[in-house]
Amino acid sequence: MLTIAGHTFRSRLFLGTGKFSSAEILKQAIEAAGSEMITVALRRVNLDDPADDIMRVLDRTRYVFLPNTSGARDAREAIRLARLARAAGSGDWLKLEVTPDPRTLLPDPVETLKATEELVKEGFKVLPYINADPILALRLQDVGAAAVMPLGAPIGTNRGLLTRFQIEIIIEQARVPVVVDAGLGAPSHAAEAMEIGADAVLVNTAISVAGDPVRMARAFALAVEAGREAFEAGLGASRREAVASSPLTGLDFIQR
């Protein structure tokens, strides 16, 4: 089972709650996905149209809420959003996102490291969203991040695991769980991330904008489970060369 910051999760599929067509579809999608970690965002209330709050739609006792700091452009803004999220009663969990470039929404590594350092001191369980940079992942681990969330491809691109080689290095080196976030456009992408040993994946757009989000949520859940099972079963590597047991060819210098 997956453990992050002392909390155990049965499901390795984290679900983002953006862009669903209705609260009802969202609830059914969460059920179908079996997710226990749900991301949410913080926004100013629109006073002219105070729609229902997402926290009232969802049963807060059943899920861990992972508020993000989306919209933050530097460490200061992210820290402010984090404090607001905690004041709103979401707990200490935080998906730290610092995205100064509105075009690509790629994360700023320098500001992310700064904000993580500060928020860990304030007692947050910080899961930073990062580019798939192995050294950055280790630096974040060193300052106390609870997990790292490298991107498979830029947000919303549905391109899959473009960063596979780098993510493999992160998985090999990191002591904290690795959650692949962003860019996973199809269940096969999620399965691939799990097959190479990711601890979990976070999916949003690919589910919320699917023709049938509830069935797509189920498809991702199956893919994540299949990928994890394959990883634990030990994937056979592609055949490089024949391995034969043989006499000591080339080792005749060994005498004793």
- Out of 2, 30, 34, 68, name the contact with other proteins by CB under 8 A: 68
Which residue, chain included where needed, has tokens 């060369």? 241
Is 95 catalytic? The answer is: yes
φ/ψ of 57, rounded to 5, equals -75, -35
Contact status: 251 vs other proteins (CB under 8 A): yes
Q: How far is the CB of 8 from other proteins (least distance, A)?
A: 19
Per rule CB under 8 A, is residue 116 in the interface with other proteins?
Answer: no
Q: Which of 138, 162, 210, 222 binds other proteins (CB under 8 A)?
A: 138
Strands 64-67 and 13-16: unpaired
186 contributes a contact to other proteins by CB under 8 A = no
Q: Which of 151, 173, 226, 210 is nearest to 21 (CA)?
A: 210
Interaction between residue 61 and other proteins (CB under 8 A): no
Of 110, 173, 212, 232, the residue at the interface with other proteins (CB under 8 A) is 173
Establish if 54 lies at the interface with other proteins (CB under 8 A): yes
Beta-sheet pairing, 7-9 with 2-4: antiparallel
Residues with Cβ within 8 Å of residue 182, at least 6 apart in sequence: 129, 151, 152, 153, 154, 155, 156, 202
Residue partners of 79: CB distance under 8 A and separation at least 6: 115, 118, 119
Q: List residues near other proteins by CB under 8 A.
A: 16-20, 26, 39-47, 50, 53-56, 65, 67-68, 70, 83-85, 87-90, 138, 155, 172-173, 175, 202, 204-205, 208, 234, 236-240, 243-251, 253-256
Residues with a known catalytic role: 95
